[in-house]
Amino acid sequence: MNAGLQHGAAGGDTPQVARGLEGIVAAATQIAEVDGERGRLTFRGYDIGELAGRVTFEEVCYLLWHGRLPGQAEYDALRAEMSGARQLPAPALAALRELAPHADGMHILRMGASTLSLGDADIDRMDVEANQRRAARLQAQMPALVAHAYRLKNGQDIVQPKAEHGVAQGFLYMLEGEEPEPARVDALNAYLVAVSEHGLNASTFTGRVVISTNSDMVSALTAAICSLKGPRHGGVPGPVLKMLGEIGSADKAEAYIRRELTEGRRIMGFGHRIYKVRDPRGAFLSEAAEKMASITGDPSLLALTKAVEETTVRVLAEVKPGRDLYANVELFAALILHSVGVPSELFTPIFAIGRTAGWTAHMIEQMEETKIIRPESVYVGPRGLTWKPLSER
């Protein structure tokens, strides 16, 4: 009997479908472990707390793609490889110039990502080594796509990347045209590390499905971006920031939360399908936000976020007992990205920059599988219908 599908007793078959594939194990992976009961997230055996504040985003990329943290020579080689790959193909850049006035956010990212196969003569190669190199190239080009599209949309010239910049620094430089302060670079680096990988979520699964057909990595990346675009999966940090602005001060938090719950609205930044405790990425980003606030000297938004978290968890425990609803990564993601100073309409595209590391790692892993991902469905529609001529229908 297929997992997630059961049949009823003698009275007739009654299909029971695992809605959203919940509870279905669809892959065995060595990339990440998401432990919802204990609130733990590990990358290739490293707890995220072990990596927090100690590694660059590029080191995490290497870890996800190759299964180990890089040595100095490997790290330097990856930095050089990604630095040399940041320039977008000329036809891709031309397309971006044409499209940017007509689309923004995840729409332009979806279209732009699909052009990244241009100039790749070996795009259909399925061997692991070629796609590890391709993953590095795509990871390097994603920040350029987001930054260039935003500037073109706003009538600004693009800013060409600098060879010496890493991913976080390079993105802010291409976005703003000025050298970013180290504190902002560090905060964005922490954010990219935190969101780089998170198991078999909707967008990652989408990417693995596409690769399982022996399609190419750019097609799979584009499909993953399409999945992330949906507000049920991506796009939450913007509404979180809006919520914090509406609350305004800690003393107004409880009334706001209770009103939203009474009126049947979701509290942004709380609850997770997997985690039954506080999202470990939230703790990671909370620490990064503390450092950012100490440097900028403005702890007001951080203090408000903490107060909202404490109040919301308490109220949710009272109103929805047993649901185990805690803060998720998006609560502090909104705080970090706002503190870094990036426009809220770029919150989800920036998430896609970070998650490209995990997406491509899963694609590489899926390439070693021999079976296409092809789940089954249960037909529940009508039967026994007979055809009638058009004039009789």
Q: So which residues are the catalytic ones?
A: 272, 330
Helix (H, G, I), strand (E, B) or coil at 270: strand
Q: Take residue 62 and report the two structure tokens written for it.
A: 């290497």
Judge whether 81 and 374 are in contact, CB under 8 Å.
Answer: no
CA angle 301, 306, 308 (to 5 degrees): 90
Cα–Cα distance measured from residue 115 to residue 6, given in angstroms and rounded to the nearest whole number: 43
Residue among 149, 137, 140 at smallest CA distance from 107: 149
Q: Whole-angstrom Cα distance, residue 103 to residue 121?
A: 29
Residue linked to tokens 């190669």:
125
The helix-helix angle for 347-366 and 202-212 (nearest 10°) equals 40
DSSP string, 13-59: ---B--GGGTT------SSEEEETTTTEEEETTEEHHHHTTT--HHH
Cβ contact 170:57 at 8 Å: no
Q: Is 388 helix (H, G, I), strand (E, B) or coil?
A: coil
Tokens 């080689």 correspond to: 77
Any residues with CB less than 8 A from the CB of 11 and at least 6 apart, and which?
A: none
Q: Are 44 and 64 in contact (CB under 8 A)?
A: yes
Q: Any bridge partners for residue 220, and if so which?
A: none
Joined tokens for residue 202? 């909707």
d(CA 116, CA 120): 8
- 385: Cβ contacts below 8 Å, ≥ 6 apart: none
Residue 242 and residue 278: Cα distance in Å, rounded? Answer: 22
> Could you give the dihedral angle defined by the CA atoms of residues 191, 194, 195 and 197, in that order, rounded to the nearest 10 degrees?
150
